[in-house]
């Protein structure tokens, strides 16, 4: 079957205003799949949608929605009631704070749990049913290497991404026999606008025109997502992440946490000397 026959005629991409989500939406649109773009910022969504229509000629639909809101799933369901969704990619959920657990009100933590755990569960349940009935379709949930071992400043982010990994792998075990491809796409550091904003806030003086050293590109992530969707349940993006996780997996968890503590300090707390 062609890509459209397997995963069309519509795809829903959560977190589509920039970075991985925007590039993934453009990539599936080039395959002829219409796209529903979800994110908070209507203006950014409109720009992505216009670019996709100009390049690919497919239909686009934008839905401005806060995926941490209790009503998020209902908003998405209402906006997609009249379209046949064959592909879901959930790539919202970056942590814009990177702060200790107790530095923020607990509502910040519970909002992240909704965005990274509750809403992906709701979306997968909502869209996977029709996919399983048709015997075709695809689901990709982005997770993080931070979900494998606990580390400072990522208490809820890491915990929620650990949930995403196991949830998506288990979903693959149930849906793959029914013809639905499911992939847990695990990322390390990825050169996205969100990462660059966070690094700038923490004192890094990155060259805007140069790639971040040792960091995966958005194009690499999207390429891996499309190549490995049919071969789930999990794929770790980048040789550096795969090697790191293999090393951590072979040692006692206490030692792995200690290494993650040191790595977090080295990569996120040392910029140009201002932090």
Task: Kindly list the catalytic residues.
Answer: 157
Q: Distance between CA atoms of 8 and 6, rounded to whole angstroms?
A: 6
Per the document, the length of the chain is 275
What does the alpha-carbon distance between residue 4 and residue 8 come to, in Å, rounded to a whole number? Answer: 4
Answer for the pair 218, 19: CB distance below 8 angstroms, yes or no.
yes
Q: Are the C-beta atoms of 185 and 136 separated by less than 8 Å?
A: no
Closest alpha carbon to 34 in 91, 84, 90: 84
Cβ-contact 143, 164 below 8 angstroms? yes
What span, in angstroms and rounded, lies between the C-alpha atoms of 140 and 124?
10
**Buried/exposed 193-205: b ≥16 CB within 10 Å, e otherwise:** eebbebbeebebe
Report d(CA 267, CA 207) in Å as an integer. 16
Cα distances (Å, whole numbers) of residue 254 to 86, 144, 149, 248: 42, 20, 9, 10
Other Cβ atoms closer than 10 A to 190: 22
What stretch of H or E contains 242? helix 239-249
**Cα separation, 94 vs 194, whole angstroms:** 8
Strands (E), 108-150: 138-144
């Amino acid at each position: 079957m062609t890509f459209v026959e397997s995963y069309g005629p519509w795809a829903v991409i959560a977190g589509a205003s920039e970075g991985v989500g925007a590039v993934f939406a453009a990539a599936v649109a080039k395959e002829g799949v219409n796209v529903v773009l979800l994110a908070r910022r209507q203006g950014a969504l409109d720009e992505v949608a216009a670019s996709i229509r100009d390049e690919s000629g497919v239909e686009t639909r934008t839905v401005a929605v806060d995926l941490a809101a209790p009503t998020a799933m209902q908003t998405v369901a209402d906006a997609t009631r009249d379209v046949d969704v064959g592909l879901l990619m959930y790539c919202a959920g970056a942590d814009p704070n990177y702060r200790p657990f107790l530095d923020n009100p607990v509502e910040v933590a519970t909002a992240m749990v909704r965005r990274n755990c509750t809403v992906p569960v709701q979306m997968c349940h909502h869209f996977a049913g029709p996919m399983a009935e048709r015997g075709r379709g695809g689901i990709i949930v982005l997770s993080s290497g931070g979900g494998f071992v606990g580390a400072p400043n990522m208490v809820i982010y890491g915990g929620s991404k650990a949930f995403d990994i196991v949830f998506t792998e288990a979903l693959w075990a149930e849906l793959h026999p029914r013809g639905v491809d499911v992939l847990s796409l695990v990322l390390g550091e990825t050169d996205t606008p969100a990462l660059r904003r966070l690094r700038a806030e923490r004192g890094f003086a990155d060259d805007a025109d140069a790639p971040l050293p040792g960091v995966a590109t958005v194009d690499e992530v999207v390429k891996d997502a499309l190549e490995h969707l049919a071969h789930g349940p999990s794929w770790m993006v980048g040789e550096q992440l795969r090697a790191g996780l293999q090393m951590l997996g072979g040692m006692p968890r206490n030692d792995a946490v200690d290494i993650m503590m040191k790595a977090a300090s080295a990569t996120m707390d040392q910029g140009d000397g201002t932090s």
